[in-house]
Chains A and B, each alone.
Chain A
Amino acid sequence: FLFQEKIITASFYNWVSAMVAKLAKICTLRISPQTLNFILSDKVAGGGVSMWCELEQENFFSEFQMEGVSAENNAIYLELTSENLSRALKTAQNARALKVKLTNKHFPCLTVSIELLSVSSSSRIVTHDIPVKVIPRKLWKDLQEPTVPNSDVSIYLPVLKTMKSIVEKMRNLSSHLIIEANLSGDLNLKIETELVCVTTHFKDLGNPPLASEDASQDRDPEQMAEVRIDIRKLLQFLAGQQVNPTRAVCNIVSNKLVHFDLLHEDVSLQYFIPAFS
């Protein structure tokens, strides 16, 4: 396998990885000619949680070059510790220029090279070598974009900060949470224990237009679709959202899955939490 060099200068790349670092300790970075993806596909360790974050490279980088394994497999998959990347990019907050390169210094690295603003004539340069593991082609199939299942209900989310503070408090009472919603813009977060039941109701959230004319048309708008999930996974997802997204949709597949589909300006983030089994 060959190491390819690519040179990128970025502008708002840093907050993307700050978000990713909160959601996945170790994640896969997929680099292809048009897009960059941060992928978490942690079937066992993450308890089935999946994450797919996508951004169009042209929105972020003034220069982007890459070369994959071959013409048909024009992608590079790298596994790295997200915190390393977010720490490296944090240095870039007051940078004059930033470059990211895939290098091989005794072991494969993503080298982030940052030229800092300096009062004197000479510049200061910070270099971070982030160790990465290059993922062989045979494992790529496990790292593809998760298929979005046909959901029973699709609803716009309330303000995420509000949701987070509610879920944080609920976490003290229960390890599971039921998330339910209907096509009338109602979403409920419920916990049920032997001692207490607590429900928080969100109303008038609005529902996105239906994707297709299918069984959803026959669905009673008041009927709730629900899924019981591990509360910590929901909390981890909400903790990663620092800024309220441009668009936030929640798709529920009854008793199976909840799918969060967020759009932050030019970055899309999808997060899948399976039903607690």
Chain B
Amino acid sequence: PLHRVLGEAVLPFPPALAEVTLGIGCGRRVILRSYQEEEADSSVRAMVTEMSIGEEDFQQLQAQEGAAITFCLKEFRGLLSFAESANLSLSIHFDAPGRPAIFAVKDTLLDGHFVLATMSESDLHSPAPHRLVPPLQAHSTPHLDDFANDDIDSYMIAMETTVDSEGSRAGPSIPLSPGLRPPCSPGPYSEDNDAEPSTEPGTPPPKKFRSLFFGSILAPAHSPPGPSPVLAEDSEGEG
């Protein structure tokens, strides 16, 4: 399963490494490579680690040689261990650098989409924070609002995890100047535009791992009798 292939693939990388690049290399091999920002002080260089996996280890690979995206390794490790623990099938969908990458997990009971931002071409050459866009509205994931009064056995958990972007950087923190280009805009993707809090220029925005939608794909007819159990309480309390 893909989560195991990738779960093993991330092991050689240093635990503190912030970002990783995933791409297709020569001979249609899938490459994971540690991403290091260019340090001004070049006397201390970081080790570069690369893992190369043959196409045969993947059930399906549809990508061009040379395609590559760079994203947060810590989030990726988290989702891999989640997929591993629940033995979910995993598929990865990505586009050009800068566009979000979707990591879809699935089994008979649930369907989840993890959305991670990827570094854009200009990000890759200059130190800049990256920021996650609001989630994609995928066809199988219901709106948060639709389930406010739902009595069928489907549940939704929206998780927001805020990771301090400074904490997850391996190198020294890089001060931003107010003139830096703004983070990539949501573009045509977000319909559920739960507006991100705008950040002040000059401070690195917190990385928000925006939403993880779980939607049950069981049809209503199969709902068990009795009140549906609350499986995970809204952490904001007062339900």
Contact = CB atoms under 8 A, between A and B. Distances in A.
A127 B54 CA distance: 14
A131 B49 contact: no
A127 B47 contact: no
A91 B50 CA distance: 12
B51 A126 contact: yes
A88 B12 CA distance: 8
Given A87-B14, A128-B12, A122 B55 contact: yes
A127 B52 contact: yes
Contacts of A120: 54, 56-57
B47 A124 contact: no
Nearest to B30: A124
A118 interface: yes
Residue among B12, B14, B46, B56 with the most chain A CB within 10 A? B12
A134 interface: no
Given A91-B12, A131-B45, A126 B56 contact: no
Contacts of A170: none
Interface string A102-136: 00000100000000001011111111111100000
A122 B52 CA distance: 10
A241 interface: no
B47 A88 contact: yes
A11 interface: no
Interface string B10-44: 01101000000000000000000000000000100
A128 B52 contact: no
A107 B45 CA distance: 9
B54 A128 contact: no
B14 to A, nearest CB: 7
Contacts of B11: 91
Contacts of B49: 88, 126-129
B48 interface: yes
Contacts of B212: none
B9 interface: yes
A107 B46 CA distance: 11
Contacts of A127: 49-52
Interface residues of B, number: 18
Contacts of A118: 54, 57
Contacts of A91: 11-12
A115 to B, nearest CB: 10
A241 B14 CA distance: 24
Given A87-B14, A125-B52, A131 B47 contact: yes
Contact of B48 (A81, A121, A123, A129): A129
Interface in B207-235: none
Contacts of B56: 120-122
B187 to A, nearest CB: 35
Nearest to A125: B52
B46 A124 contact: no
Nearest to A115: B52
A14 interface: no
Contacts of B57: 118, 120, 122, 124
Contact of A131 (B9, B46, B50, B53): B46
Contacts of A123: 54
Contacts of B52: 124-127
A84 interface: yes
Contacts of A131: 45-47
A131 B46 CA distance: 7
Contacts of B55: 122
A88 B14 CA distance: 10
A127 B29 CA distance: 14
Given A120-B57, A122-B56, A122-B57, A130 B47 contact: yes
B1 to A, nearest CB: 12
A125 B51 contact: yes
Contacts of B48: 128-129
A130 B47 CA distance: 5
Nearest to B43: A133
Contacts of B9: 124
A124 B45 contact: no
A248 to B, nearest CB: 32
A84 B47 CA distance: 7
B237 to A, nearest CB: 44
Given A107-B45, A124-B9, A129-B50, 20 more contacts: A81-B47, A84-B47, A88-B47, A91-B11, A118-B54, A118-B57, A121-B54, A122-B53, A122-B54, A122-B55, A123-B54, A124-B51, A124-B52, A124-B54, A126-B12, A126-B49, A127-B49, A127-B50, A128-B48, A128-B50
9 contacts: A87-B12, A87-B14, A88-B49, A122-B54, A124-B52, A124-B53, A125-B51, A126-B52, A129-B48
